[in-house]
Structure 1
Amino acid sequence: MNEAGDTGLAEVRVDVWLWAARFFKTRSLAKQAIVGGHVDVNGGGCKPAKTLRAGDRLRIARGEERLEVEVLALSERRGPASVAQALYRETDASRLARETARAERRMVGATAPPKRPDKQARRELRRLKDGG
């Protein structure tokens, strides 16, 4: 069996590569994302068994996160994160968009509505409303 990041592989299934590159925790989750239309290969949709080659471009949507990556190497085995990061390169536009979205979420979180009052706060509100 080939080692993670081995360039001896000519083709790998998309769901296997997404799992090996640590975009999804399990191959099953990678397959569900592909079937759900959250993964595009070279600008078009794909199926889990589609073969992936070095140089292909992927668009991956995970929750609110949108990634666009270029495949640098192929692997069928899930290895350490440092090895997995060597399998792809994220585009500059994708990285900038993710950082902008993260900053916007942080700003929205700072102005989030107050939480529901707890027991002590409810009693205080009742006292203020009743005037006593």
Structure 2
Amino acid sequence: MRIDKLLWCLRYYKTRSIAAEAVKKGHVTVNGQVAKASREIFPTDKITLRKDQINYKLTILDIPQNRLGAKLLDMYRKDETPKEAFEHLELLKLSKEHYRAHGMGRPTKKERRDIDDYLDDNYASEDFE
């Protein structure tokens, strides 16, 4: 089976064309070599792919006939991705929530409410002093 079709079947990409584009950009390696979209995959191949700032490491156990349900994935691949990669992604998400660059436009509704609550708390504390 082709690498782009396999990554689509194993639900790493939503469409086959997105999978083919990721392979074309060099985000996917097979047994340590950069792969082309037409590369044939066989059982025991080791695949590394970069998606959403995570380097996934997979070992193919068997080749599926078509796209699988999420519960059946472990029958066809062994995921060897380290847990630290997912923890790093969580830290990135948390840091992005608290960072707002200067000149990024108006605050969102939630940010505006947070600012108002902060200002109300500060003015309320000054009245009692």
TM-score with structure 1 length normalisation? 0.70
Tell me the residue number matched to 1:42: 31
**Alpha-carbon separation, structure 2, partners of 1:59 and 1:44:** 9
Instruction: Give the length in aligned residue pairs.
Output: 109
Aligned pairs for 1:1-132 (under 5 A) are: 12-91=1-80, 94-109=81-96, 112-113=98-99, 116=107, 118=112, 121=116
Secondary structure of the structure 1 residue equivalent to 2:34:
coil
**Alpha-carbon separation, structure 2, partners of 1:24 and 1:106:** 21
Identity between Structure 1 and Structure 2 (%): 20
- Runs of 4 or more above 4 Å deviation: none
**Alpha-carbon separation, structure 2, partners of 1:100 and 1:38:** 21
**Alpha-carbon separation, structure 2, partners of 1:113 and 1:30:** 31
Residues 1:63 and 1:103: Cα distance change in structure 2 (over 3 Å): closer
Greater RCO (Cα-Cα under 8 Å, separation 6 or more): 1
* Equivalent pair of 1:72/1:86 in contact (CA under 8 Å): yes
Please, what is the CA RMSD of the aligned residues?
2.6
* Equivalent pair of 2:53/2:89 in contact (CA under 8 Å): no
* Equivalent pair of 1:54/1:72 in contact (CA under 8 Å): yes
Secondary structure of the structure 2 residue equivalent to 1:85:
helix
**Alpha-carbon separation, structure 2, partners of 1:98 and 1:21:** 20
TM-score with structure 2 length normalisation? 0.71
Unaligned 5+ segments in structure 2 are 101-105, 124-129
Q: Which range moves more in the overlay, 14-23 or 74-83?
A: 74-83
Of Structure 1 and Structure 2, the greater helix share is in: 2
